[in-house]
Chain A
Amino acid sequence: MVTTSVSVEQLERTARKLRRHIVKMLAIAGSGHPGGSLSAIDILTALFFGNVMRYDPKNPRWVERDRFILSKGHAVPALYAVLAEAGFIPEDWLWQLRKIDTPMQGHPSVKDIPAVEASTGSLGQGLSIGLGMALAARLDDKPYRVYVMIGDGESEEGQVWEAAMAASHFRVGNLTAILDYNRYQLDGAIGEIMSIEPVVAKWEAFGWAVREIDGHNMKQILEALHWAKEPREQPSIIIAHTVKGKGVSFMENNNEFHGKAPTQAELEQALAELAD
């Protein structure tokens, strides 16, 4: 049973707005990663605006805040969009993405924006950092939870499985991973480059509580995130099946848009498709 004052429809509307932000900031920047940003944005929207995470935009380093780490750092436009929507950064910063002398680094950087919890972009590192934070919460007897979004291609990194093994060994119930399973990596379909299947069985075998969802179904996302908060002595992972480039017809499942910004004409078409 999901108890939230925010309706699914409201969240879907927010996600659509943030999709517009994503394509616009990428078009202005002229480079970046639309595919994996658009596949992740519904989940990020639910995390930040679905009464899941506790945070305070006026005090981004509040000790008891829940932490979110975007381990698949190339999807940073999605993170910046939610940080702006939540009030951590001004919305006009979004149009400075990747520009010199601005805080808007091409991948998440803790040095530039206090609400960014970990510098990422070298794949495979985020879950280990999140595990360290989850252990710190336990040592300090603090109530915060740590969420780490990992990518499917990223899951080919050995460090992800080192962290997975350690997290269940250390019994951290306050750590939740979310797999953005959009089935593509830079060089092509993940099943062809290096399959991570059977991925549910792998995480179960590593001692995690696992739930599989449609990563674009807001109701399912919310239910899974609230399921993850239930007290347990093992870490949890949500395997979210997503569509790369979701929401923009010509980007969906089109891996050309893994790391290519839309042109002005493409932006206009995308914005039209994403209109309220």
Chain B
Amino acid sequence: MARPLGEATREAYGKALAELGRENPNIVVLDGDLSKSTMTKYFAQEFPDRFFNVGIAEANMVGMAAGLAASGKIAFASSFACFVMCKAFDQMRLAVAYSGNNVKIVGTHGGISIGEDGVSQMGHEDIGLALSLPGFVVLVPADGAETREAVRAAAEHVGPVYIRVGRPKAPVVYENGCPHFRIGKAITLRDGDDVTLIANGLMVAAALDAAETLAQQGISARVLDMHTVRPLDEEAVEKAARETGAIVVAEEHLLYTGLASQVAMAVAKRYPVPMRFVGLYDYAESGAPDALMRKYGLTAEDIAREAVELVHMRQEAVV
């Protein structure tokens, strides 16, 4: 059932950036000595004049991006998700979010799927930090094709954007591209009546796999790719709650502050139904990405198990 692996979302980010650079001379890129990992190297090779490697100095990087943006540039600033969000949070708060500067922060190596490098390099809470900044659009694409669209949409959007991408090759979700990508609009990948699985990033492929497992057990699961965490597609969430009566949210992030929290808030406000959450409750550790995803409960099996329990719980409640 495993889907074929495509390119890493960080790879797609780097290529999309170079593409955009060819189309729009106003795009500038900053990186903090990680361009070979964040893949901004493609842009750097093609447009050395518009690329600023600031060295290992994230706060300065984000401040410079704000200054470039305040002077009419579309500034993309990249580092590992944990570094850029944690080390430059104050700069993101005042110089970007509050000031409304047209800066796009792209955090790569998000989540625990970065693997062997371990906790110090993992983005466990980057999405929550981005969400805590008013004005930031927050995007978490699922695969290479969707990343390309997300980067393009971010460049077109006027204002701060955070995009979270990952290190490993991502399972292909969009085989024929992702032409219907729109900021703030969930993509329904599969319809269903009994439960809705809402996911983003790598967990979208896992949710699709989980839906197939559930189908074999006679449970019909809807799958939503919630690539935009803010502005959240509350209509799609409410519709899912009304029509399927139960929701499982899956994300590669601490559950306290990410997609799960946002969806739970929308559900509580608009149409309360029972929910379950698949994600992190604690920091992870070093290890092979697949092994980490298993150990920390971020697999299709984990999503399917929560969905089954939720559906049974509802049936018992109805009886």
Given the contacts A111-B100, A120-B94, A121-B94, A129 and B59 also touching, CB distance less than 8 Å: no
How would residues 139 to 171 of chain A score, 1 for a CB under 8 Å from any chain B CB and 0 otherwise? 110000000000000000011001101100110
Does B177 have its Cβ within 8 Å of any Cβ on chain A?
Answer: no
Contact between A131 and B64, CB atoms less than 8 A apart: yes
- A159 CB to closest chain B CB (Å) equals 4
Contact between A136 and B59, CB atoms less than 8 A apart: no
Contact between B63 and A132, CB atoms less than 8 A apart: yes
- B72 CB to closest chain A CB (Å) equals 7
Grouping DSSP codes into helix (H, G, I), strand (E, B) and loop, the B interface class, with mixed when no group exceeds half, is helix
Does A118 have its Cβ within 8 Å of any Cβ on chain B?
Answer: yes
- A162 CB to closest chain B CB (Å) equals 4
Within 8 A of B (CB), among A109-132: 109-111, 117-122, 124-132
Contact between A129 and B64, CB atoms less than 8 A apart: yes
CA distance A169 to B57 in the complex (A): 13
Chain A residues with Cβ below 8 Å from B59 are 124-125, 128, 158-159, 162
Contact between A132 and B71, CB atoms less than 8 A apart: yes
Given the contacts A136-B72, A139-B49, A166-B57, A128 and B67 also touching, CB distance less than 8 Å: yes
- B18 CB to closest chain A CB (Å) equals 18
CA distance A159 to B92 in the complex (A): 13
CA distance A140 to B73 in the complex (A): 10
**Contact partner, A131, options B50, B67, B69, B99, Cβ 8 Å:** B67
How would residues 174 to 200 of chain A score, 1 for a CB under 8 Å from any chain B CB and 0 otherwise? 000000000000000000000000000
Contact between A159 and B63, CB atoms less than 8 A apart: yes
Contact between A128 and B28, CB atoms less than 8 A apart: no
Contact between B63 and A163, CB atoms less than 8 A apart: yes
Contact between B63 and A110, CB atoms less than 8 A apart: no
**Contact partner, B70, options A111, A129, A140, A165, Cβ 8 Å:** A129
Contact between A136 and B99, CB atoms less than 8 A apart: no
Contact between A159 and B60, CB atoms less than 8 A apart: yes
Chain A residues with Cβ below 8 Å from B93 are 122
Given the contacts A122-B94, A129-B66, A137 and B71 also touching, CB distance less than 8 Å: yes
**Contact partner, B63, options A129, A137, A170, Cβ 8 Å:** A129
Does A267 have its Cβ within 8 Å of any Cβ on chain B?
Answer: no
Chain B residues with Cβ below 8 Å from A119 are 94-95, 98-99
Contact between A118 and B52, CB atoms less than 8 A apart: no
Contact between A165 and B52, CB atoms less than 8 A apart: no
Chain B residues with Cβ below 8 Å from A159 are 57, 59-60, 63, 91
CA distance A120 to B55 in the complex (A): 24
Given the contacts A111-B99, A119-B94, A166 and B60 also touching, CB distance less than 8 Å: yes
Given the contacts A120-B94, A125-B91, A166 and B54 also touching, CB distance less than 8 Å: yes
- A235 CB to closest chain B CB (Å) equals 13
Contact between B99 and A132, CB atoms less than 8 A apart: no
CA distance A23 to B150 in the complex (A): 51
Chain B residues with Cβ below 8 Å from A84 are none
Question: A160's closest neighbor in chain B, by CB?
Answer: B60
- B102 CB to closest chain A CB (Å) equals 12
Number of interface residues of A (CB under 8 A): 34
- A157 CB to closest chain B CB (Å) equals 9
Does B193 have its Cβ within 8 Å of any Cβ on chain A?
Answer: no
**Contact partner, B67, options A63, A111, A130, Cβ 8 Å:** A130
Chain B residues with Cβ below 8 Å from A170 are 52
CA distance A75 to B197 in the complex (A): 52
Does A135 have its Cβ within 8 Å of any Cβ on chain B?
Answer: yes
- B19 CB to closest chain A CB (Å) equals 20
Given the contacts A133-B70, A139-B28, A165-B55, A111 and B60 also touching, CB distance less than 8 Å: no
Given the contacts A119-B98, A125-B94, A135 and B63 also touching, CB distance less than 8 Å: no
Chain A residues with Cβ below 8 Å from B69 are 132
How would residues 51 to 87 of chain B score, 1 for a CB under 8 Å from any chain A CB and 0 otherwise? 0101101011111111111111101000000000000
Chain B residues with Cβ below 8 Å from A137 are 71
CA distance A118 to B98 in the complex (A): 10
List residues of chain A with CB under 8 Å of any chain B CB: 63, 109-111, 117-122, 124-137, 139-140, 158-159, 162-163, 165-166, 169-170
Pairs A–B under 8 Å by Cβ, sample size 21 = A110-B70, A111-B100, A118-B67, A119-B94, A119-B98, A125-B91, A125-B95, A128-B66, A132-B65, A132-B67, A134-B67, A135-B52, A135-B67, A136-B67, A139-B28, A140-B71, A159-B59, A159-B60, A162-B57, A163-B63, A166-B60
Extra contacts besides A128-B64, A132-B69, A136-B72 (18): CB < 8 Å: A110-B100, A118-B70, A118-B99, A119-B99, A125-B59, A128-B61, A128-B63, A129-B66, A129-B95, A132-B71, A132-B75, A133-B67, A134-B67, A159-B91, A162-B57, A162-B59, A163-B60, A163-B64
List residues of chain B with CB under 8 Å of any chain A CB: 28, 49-50, 52, 54-55, 57, 59-73, 75, 90-91, 93-95, 98-100
Q: Which 5 A-B pairs have the closest CB atoms?
A: A132-B67, A128-B63, A136-B71, A162-B60, A162-B57
